[in-house]
Amino acid sequence: VFPGVRQAQWLTKTKLVEGLPPPVQAIMDNPALGLQELEERAKHMVSHARLWDTAEVAPRREKYCPVLFENLIHICRLMSGKYPSLSKRMLARNFRIAAMWERESILLQVRGLSGILMNSVTPIAPVASKEEILATKEHVLETFYPIAPTIDLQEVNVYKELNDTGQCFRDGYPYSHPHTLFFLESANVRTDRFRPEQLRAKMLMFAFGNALAKARVLHGNDPKVLEQPVVVQSIATDGQLFQFMVFQLNTTDLVSNDGVKNLVWIDSDQNLYERAQCVPEVKKRVVTKPAGISGFQPDTFKKFLALYLHGTV
C-alpha cells in the first residue's frame, strides 16, 4: 500500500508535526474554561447516539455516526453563552472545493465533496511563529524514488484550470473564513470506509485545498510565502475513532522542494469510547458485559471541543 499521509505531504509541500499544536493544547489544559464540566454531558451524548436513538439491537454506523457528530456540535455550541463570538459560525454541508497547483512539473488538483465545513467570521491566527515557519526551509521532503509520488492519483484531462471556493467565500458572505472540516466515515461496511491512514491523507488534501483557495482569494494567484498564513483544521470520525488535524498554509510557492514548507499537526486514532454494549452479554446466567458505554475517553472529547474553540478563546 502506498503511504497515504507521506504522499499527501509531498503533494502539498508539507512538514508533519505529531500531536496537536501548543495553542490547542493550551485550550485543553485551561481549567478556567470548565471543559471538565461538559464531560458528563458528552458521555450522555455518546449513550444517546449509540444506545437510545434507535430501536435496533445493534444500531448501524450510518445512523449513529452522524447523530454523535450533531450531539458533539450541540455541546460545543453551549459554550457560545460564555463566548458570544462562537455564534458567528456556519456549517456548510455537501460543500464542493476545487484548487489547482503545480508541483515540480506536475499539475495537480484537489476537488470534490469536502465534508462538512464550518466557516467563521474571523480566521484562525497562525499557530506557528515566523521563526518556526522559516525553520521549515531546512526540512527535506521525503521522495519515493523510483516510485512516482503521483502513482495512484487519477489522471484527467483539464480543459479549464479551476480554482473554486464554492459558495462559502463569495464577496459579501459574512462567514468567509474556513475554520474546520468534518469528515464522517459512516459507511456500515468496513470495506466502504476509508482506513485511518487514507482518511488522514484525505483530511490533509482537503484542508490544504481549502486553505489554498482562500489564500488565492486573499493574496492573488502569484506563488509566494504568505505574510499571513492560512490555518484550516480537520476532524474525522467513524463514530468511535477520531482523527484531529491542524494545517497551516505558509506558502503558495509549491513548484520546487526548496524554501518554506507548509505545516500540519496530526493527532491520530483517538477513541472516544472503547465499547458500546446495546444489550447485556450473559453467560451461564451471569452478566459478563453490562449494557452501556465503557471506556469513555474524556481527552478525546476535549480535543474536539478545543479545536472548535480555537480561534475564539
Domain segments of the chain as ranges: 3-309
Q: Is the peptide bond before 123 cis (omega within 30 degrees of 0)?
A: no
List, for residues 107-127, the tens digit of each pLDDT value: 888 877 668 999 999 999 999
pLDDT at 288 over 50: yes
List, for residues 156-186, the tens digit of each pLDDT value: 444 444 555 554 555 667 888 999 999 999 8
Cell of 148: 512516482
Burial class of residue 291, CB neighbours in 10 A (0-12, 13-18, 19+)? middle
Instruction: Specify the pLDDT at position 159.
Output: 43
Q: What percent of the chain has pLDDT over 90?
A: 62
Task: List the one residue out of 272, 292, 271 whose CA is nearest residue 281.
Answer: 292
Instruction: Specify the pLDDT at position 1.
Output: 36
Instruction: Specify the pLDDT at position 277.
Output: 82
Instruction: Specify the pLDDT at position 153.
Output: 53
Q: What percent of the chain has pLDDT over 70?
A: 88
Instruction: Specify the pLDDT at position 110.
Output: 82
Cell of 5: 499521509
Integer Cα distance of 52 and 49 in angstroms: 6
Distances (CA, A) of 172 to 166, 168, 176, 230, 303: 14, 10, 8, 19, 32
- Give the lowest-confidence range in 105-109, 134-138, 210-214: 105-109
pLDDT at 100 over 70: yes
Integer Cα distance of 61 and 192 in angstroms: 12
